Structure 1
């Protein structure tokens, strides 16, 4: 299985898990919020919104266009920290994010 296919499957699973845990936002953040240059847009977005509106969108574009994928992923530590305040079960989402990090770090 190609890395692109594996990435695509993980992106679909992350999206599904965000939705199943009611962490999917139907309202897009403002253009200003999305334009933040702070890592994970932490100054303007909730981490789950960053996942949905920045990470998933950009990664899907890379896969569709068969562009080079990032080689050093470290989303999981941020996800662990960001999810501490949530009351929903984020174990599956964290596992998917960790799998994503490991997949792209392994391809080096």
Structure 2
């Protein structure tokens, strides 16, 4: 359960930081864009859209349903490569790495 708390806290920090950096969007992408089968929906969503509309909701749903958490994945390498706004990446990356650590 402590893993859930650590992960939940990191997800909240990420959401707060995205809002602070004006990366949090009020308009949800289309169903087509959200239904991408590509990793990180890289063909239809920006990296931060994927965080907001796919990753954060799925992780929160797993936590709320007390489901088994997937382990052994890292999302930080993708963000290091994919985010074009390096200044904002530097502010998000420590939190993303914290999420990676929580699911090891």
Distance 1:104 1:47 in 2: 19
1:30 matched residue in structure 2: 30
Distance 1:8 1:76 in 2: 17
Distance 1:6 1:63 in 2: 11
What does the per-residue CA deviation read over 1:61-95, in whole Å, with 9 as the maximum and x for residues that have no partner?
00111101111221000111122x11643323100
- Unaligned ranges ≥5, structure 1: none
Q: Determine if the alignment matches structure 1 residue 8 to structure 2 residue 20.
A: no
1:97 matched residue in structure 2: 96
Aligned residue runs from structure 1 range 75-90, under 5 A:
75-83=75-83, 85-86=84-85, 88-90=87-89
Q: Is the 8 A contact 2:79 2:89 kept in 1?
A: no
Distance 1:22 1:11 in 2: 16
Displaced runs of 4 or more, over 2 A: 87-90
- Unaligned ranges ≥5, structure 2: none
1:54 matched residue in structure 2: 54
1:63 matched residue in structure 2: 63
Q: Is the 8 A contact 1:21 1:88 kept in 2?
A: no
2:44 matched residue in structure 1: 44
- TM-score in terms of structure 1 length: 0.90
